[in-house]
Amino acid sequence: MKEAKVFIFAPADTTGESHKMLEDSGCELIVGKANWDTPQGDSELEMAKMAEGCDALVGTSIRSTPITQKIMQSSKNLRIIAKYTIGVDDVDVDAATELGILVTHGPTESNWGGVAEGTITAMLTLLKKVRERDRYLKETGGWRDMQLQGTYVGSRASDGYPGIVLGIIGLGRIGSRIAMLMRPWGMKMIGYDPYVPDSKFEEFGVRRVDLPTLLRESDVVTLHVVLNKETRHMISGPQLAMMKPTAILVNTSRGFCVDERALIETLQKGQIAGAALDVFEHEPLALESRLRKLGDKVLLSPHMVSSNLGSGLGPGIRWATQSVLCALRGEVPDNVYNKEVIERWESRFGGKNVWDAERQARVRA
Ligand code: NAD
């Protein structure tokens, strides 16, 4: 009798429901540390040991020890790496594809819709000086500081004020949801995404431009790209230098999409007005990071822009758990990220249920 072996490398299911579901289906679980910001083991080697002989790896984003080729190679049975979240930059997807392993992710609306709402909140917090006015009242005992003027964001019919220019980089799920939510404000929206058709720009009321134009014209630049070789440090010194001195940058995608060092220097020199960041090159953000010393020029959030009561990772955990069970039965689940591997995977595992006849008979009995 063969039990399926599942390594939960970065557990985030506080209810334990998904663990129970896997166990009830006949999976032996190896559960990593609940705090996935700290290393699961001392090294990649430790993770590889925990993954030995596993049929599936599942978990949330793992900042400390990405899922490398070495970890994958520690089990020739490995069928699937299932992420609770949208991003898969912590998995060596090329290696998985090469090895014939499925990588699935969880683009649930509770996650990406939450990022869109949180991004707009961050943008408005900076533009409307929400923190500064609150602090002025509480800390100075004063009433109004007339220096604390906000920015009128939308357009106005009454005096022809055009509103700000919102620049969206990456018009995928999150970028287009932001456009949809902001459209009624009547501001001008421009976007850069070489991989979506013109019709999508038209659908969401966004004018297609190239990246330099977006950087030069926008009052708010907001980043919603996947992190890959092409987008790593896509916003660095030269790009920041193209932005208006009054503009702000919002990054809720991945820390490495922005060259953090260049951003800090740009902010210190006052070459742009501010930045709102939910993601960082290294997480958790180091205590000594210069970003923590930039006061109101930065609005920082601990990579939890999409964490909301009653939503958060829950739906993603359910998807990932179903994906694991599906792959263990020898079926291709939804939300496969590396679709190019499917044919090869089917020839390796297609129709091959991990639970042998004896096990199934026992479960049925
Ligand atoms: P998506 O795949 O729907 O959209 C990404 C878009 O980026 C696509 O339209 C793609 O064409 C575009 N793109 C790719 N390369 C580009 C390039 N070089 N220049 C411009 N555009 C490019 O993904 P999504 O669901 O909108 O999520 C976007 C990113 O947000 C994710 O990859 C993830 O890293 C991040 N995210 C962060 C959090 C968080 O908690 N902060 C949560 C969810 C997702």
pLDDT at 340: 98
Q: Which residue has a Cα nearest atom 18 of ligand 1?
A: 231
Residue 42's pLDDT is 53
223 lines ligand 1 (CB under 6 A): no
Cα–Cα distances in Å, from 230 out to 157, 194, 256, 278, 341? 41, 12, 11, 21, 21
Percent of the chain with pLDDT over 70: 95
CATH of domain 109-300: 3.40.50.720
Of 79, 254, 260, 281, the active-site residue reads: 254
Instruction: Check: CB of residue 333 under 8 Å from CB of residue 323.
Output: yes
- The predicted pLDDT at position 1 comes to 44
Helix H, strand E, coil C: the string for the chain is CCCEEEEEEECCCCCCHHHHHHHHCCEEEEECCCCCCCCCCCCHHHHHHHCCCCCEEEECCCCCCCECHHHHCCCCCCCEEEECCCCCCCECHHHHHHHCCEEECCCCHHHHHHHHHHHHHHHHHHHCCHHHHHHHHHHHCCCCCCCCCCCCCCCCCCCCCCCCEEEEECCCHHHHHHHHHHHHHCCEEEEECCCCCHHHHHHCCCEECCHHHHHHHCCEEEECCCCCCCCCCCECHHHHHHCCCCCEEEECCCHHHECHHHHHHHHHCCCCCEEEECCCCCCCCCCCCHHHHCHHHEEECCCCCCCCCCCCCHHHHHHHHHHHHHHHCCCCCCCECCHHHHHHHHHHHCCCCCCCHHHHHHHHC
At 255 the pLDDT is: 96
In the predicted model, is pLDDT for residue 288 greater than 50? yes
* Ordered strands of the 27-31 beta sheet: 27-31, 4-10, 56-59, 80-83, 102-104
Domain limits, CATH 3.40.50.720, in the chain: 4-108+311-364, 109-300
Q: What is the pLDDT of residue 105?
A: 96
Across 42-46, 73-77, 123-127, least confident range: 42-46
pLDDT of 176 above 60: yes
Q: Ligand 1 centroid to 34 CA: how many Å?
A: 26
Distance (Å, whole) CA 108 – CA 317: 10
CATH architecture entry for 4-108+311-364: 3-Layer(aba) Sandwich (3.40)
Active site residue 224: no
Q: Cβ neighbours of residue 262 under 8 Å, at least 6 residues apart?
A: 236, 237, 240
Q: Confidence band (pLDDT; 50, 70, 90) for 298?
A: very high
pLDDT confidence of residue 258: 98
pLDDT of residue 313: 86
Q: How confident is the model over 25-35, as a mean pLDDT?
A: 86
Query: What local confidence, expressed as pLDDT, does residue 228 receive?
Result: 92
- 342 CA to centre of ligand 1 in angstroms: 22
Q: What is the arithmetic mean of pLDDT over 74-84?
A: 97
Mean pLDDT of 107-114: 94
129 lines ligand 1 (CB under 6 A): no
Examine residue 238 and say whether the peptide bond preceding it is cis (omega within 30 degrees of 0).
no
pLDDT given for residue 234 in this prediction = 98
**Averaged pLDDT score across all residues of the chain:** 93
303 is catalytic: yes
Q: What percent of the chain has pLDDT over 90?
A: 86
Average pLDDT over residues 91-114: 96
Confidence label for 63 from pLDDT (cuts 50, 70 and 90): confident
